[in-house]
Amino acid sequence: MHDDFVQSRSRLLHRAPRWLDAQRIRAYAAFVLLVNIGYFSLRIWLGAIDPVPNVSPPGWDFAVFWSASWLALHGPAVNAFDTALIEPIALPLQNMLPSAFVTPWTYPPTFLLVMLPAALLPFQVSCVAYLLAGTAFAFKACARILPPVRDLSWWLPVVAFPAIWVTVGAGQNSFLTFALMGLGLVCLERRPWLAGILFGLLAIKPQLGLMIPVALVFGRNWRAFISAALSVGVFCALSGFVLGFGTFARFAEALPAFSQFVVQYSDRWPRGILTVFGTARHFGVAVPTAYLLHAIMAALAASAVAWLWATRASFELRASALVLATLLVPTYLMPYDLLLLGLPILWLVRDGTRNGWIRGDAVAMVSAWLSPVVSYTPGGWAAGAYVPFIVFALLLVVMRRYVVQRAVSANTCACMVEAEEHSSTVSRL
């Protein structure tokens, strides 16, 4: 009887595939790390040392943040939303010439408040300080997820994750959003009020917080939900008092204009928009149909989150589903946003180490780990069109693991009941 259960479990869950053992993982990661360093060095050379027009040096997106900070410090904060004012400051820092692809500030006042001190330092110094602080915060989240290991080489796949280098190259806020999401989920069970505060701080990039209320409501995490709502309210109020509440009105005006700009160029966006909407537009689908296809994918992703959180799946699977749905729901996503993929990959590694693997898991996880390299491709080749399918495949991996683990658990309970009945019968005899 026990042997039957073990055999049924072995048919469902396996060891990690041989092509992904520890030694090979380190070798693959080392190779990808060299590619990352090579591309990063090339951007430094062509963007700063021997500049070529329209080749941006590392920190090209931080140039927008720094420029918005400078405008807010030297005049009304609403000036940050004026493209005519921000481009003359940002474009020289980006080594870019004026083009149809504008450089606007489209972030909410909450993020402008966070970035307000940036221009107190020279651009290069401020950029380095910002990235070091964000990287430390993100690695703190990784350390809370990964089990303690003595062999530091296990950190090699983390350091080699291409999204880290894409984020550093852009000077983006993805390290901050990664840490807020990761640490918020880590704290959820034991410190729900702190988790809610961390989730509330994601108001710096609201589109990445759309799935959090769904998860908290269906998971019945009411204290975290209340804490998150209060944190958002306090954060917005503080931003209004410091920057002026007129910044919220300007932000509301800037959003439709930027959305229209994205739609206008969505069929020829450099390297693609990494969403179902962007994929559909890349292949020539009309805008209304592209929105419909995206809405279907978003509904599927949200349903997966609701199901896994309502049925109290294991923490690793619930957290992974939430992050993956966060990447599938917005219509606009860039390669640096894929840093969030590191969270479900880490949690699935932990879950697989504990519960075993299913065939196909490793392929989906490695594909997701490699997917940010779309940022290295030529601008005319929209390799990002395939990224949403990789993210959705990883979500399917999470759901399949839950179904299999529930089946294994049910078999375990059935075997235990049958064994107890058998033992009782024998004792009576």
Instruction: Read off the pLDDT of residues 337-378 as tens digits, 9 standing for 90 and up.
Output: 999 999 999 999 989 888 888 888 989 999 999 999 888 877
Q: For residues 205 and 255, what is the distance between their CA atoms, to the nearest angstrom? A: 13
Question: How high is the pLDDT of residue 270?
Answer: 74
- Give pLDDT tens digits for 184-216: 999 999 999 999 999 999 999 999 999 999 999
pLDDT at 1: 45
pLDDT, tens digit (0-9, with 9 covering 90-100), for 27-51 = 889 999 999 999 999 989 988 888 8
Residue 100 clears pLDDT 90, i.e. is over it: no
CA atoms of 337 and 341, how far apart (whole Å):
8
Average pLDDT, rounded, for the chain? 87
Measured between alpha carbons, how far is 47 from 94 in angstroms, rounded to an integer?
8
Phi-psi region of 172 (alpha: psi -120 to 50; beta: other; left: phi over 0): beta
Q: What is the pLDDT of residue 95?
A: 85
Long-range contacts of 259-265 (CB under 8 A, 24+ apart): 261/102, 262/331, 262/332, 263/287, 265/100, 265/101
Q: In this prediction, what percent of the chain has a pLDDT beyond 70?
A: 88
Which segment of 86-100, 192-206, 264-278, 401-415 scores lowest on mean pLDDT?
A: 401-415
Within its chain, how far is the Cα of 65 from the centroid? 20
Torsion of CA 146, 151, 157, 163, to 10 degrees: 60
pLDDT of residue 50: 83
Query: How far is Cα 175 from Cα 260, in angstroms, rounded to an integer?
Result: 28
Q: What is the mean pLDDT of residues 137-149?
A: 84
- Can you tell me the mean pLDDT for 77-83? 92
pLDDT of residue 8: 44
**What pTM, to 2 d.p., does this model score?**
0.91
pLDDT at 418: 57
Structure tokens at 223: 């204290």
Angle at 141 between CA 318 and CA 63, to 5 degrees: 110
C-alpha of 321 from chain center: 12
Can you tell me the mean pLDDT for 318-323?
96
Is the distance from CB of 195 to CB of 216 less than 8 angstroms? no
Cα separation, 66 vs 289, in Å, equals: 38
Give me the phi and psi of 173, to 5 degrees please.
-95, 15
pLDDT at 2: 44
